[in-house]
Amino acid sequence: MPDDTTSAGSAAASGSSPAAPSGSPTTPRTIRGVIIDWGGVVTSPLVDTIDAWLRSEQIDRDSYTAVMRSWVSAAYGDGADNPVHALERGECTNEEFERQLAAQLTHVDGRPVAHDDLLARMFAAGAVENAMLDLIRALRQAGLRTALLSNSWGDDYRRDLFPELFDVVVISAEVGMRKPEERIFRHTAALLGLEPEECVFIDDVAANIVAAEAIGLIGVHHREPGPTALRLTELLGVPLA
């Protein structure tokens, strides 16, 4: 999901789990799996990627912000299904979504925006973060099972990297489910052969973290590779940072 839109997802959640009551007993967990988002986690921040596209194509920023705020607020709220739901669950084609989105956008000079390959153009400036690739490799070397769990906007994935990084790959449009739906977290954990309580979940959208934690996963709200590696080191007891 484009990071310019995640403020709506963040507004739907506080971004952190409720603290355990002071003095309450805790049971040590055995963590055996790590579930990882793609865009904005394995790749460079999506806010930077989207900003590069807006500047390169001279897209009117206000038109983009207005439509994304509306669609994503509904996608993470209690509203009816909308184009984001349909795209992420695979209920519409990329081309259908691109036509709907382009119709809401203008260039800074007022010209309409072409819909052809719009999603690919939006994410063209994105790049994988080598630090995150190294972190995932280190997790696997430490004996952790790893899964990709991504809400898909187009198909900008580096699928050539999947075999060395992930034991399981779950892409929302391919399974008809999307984050923050409970069922997609349970589905991913089950494919790993694990219970949700045995998994850490890394994502850059606060609402997805809260939803995952609600069913027992341990959430790590990703912003940069360094702090994420430090948090995983704390949780797993293995040197990753």
Q: Could you give the domains of the chain?
A: 26-44+127-236 (3.40.50.1000), 46-122 (no CATH)
| pLDDT reported for residue 26 | 53
Name the CA dihedral angle for 174, 179, 182, 184, rounded to a multiple of 10 degrees. Answer: 20
Whole-model pTM? 0.88
Q: 221 near 16, Cβ under 8 Å? A: yes
| pLDDT reported for residue 40 | 96
CA 63 to chain centre: 23
pLDDT tens, N- to C-terminus, the chain (241 residues):
665 444 444 433 333 333 333 333 455 679 999 999 999 999 999 999 999 999 999 999 999 999 999 998 888 876 667 899 999 999 999 999 999 999 999 999 999 999 999 999 999 999 999 999 999 999 999 999 999 999 999 998 999 999 999 999 999 999 999 999 999 999 999 999 999 999 999 999 999 999 999 999 999 999 999 999 999 999 999 888 6
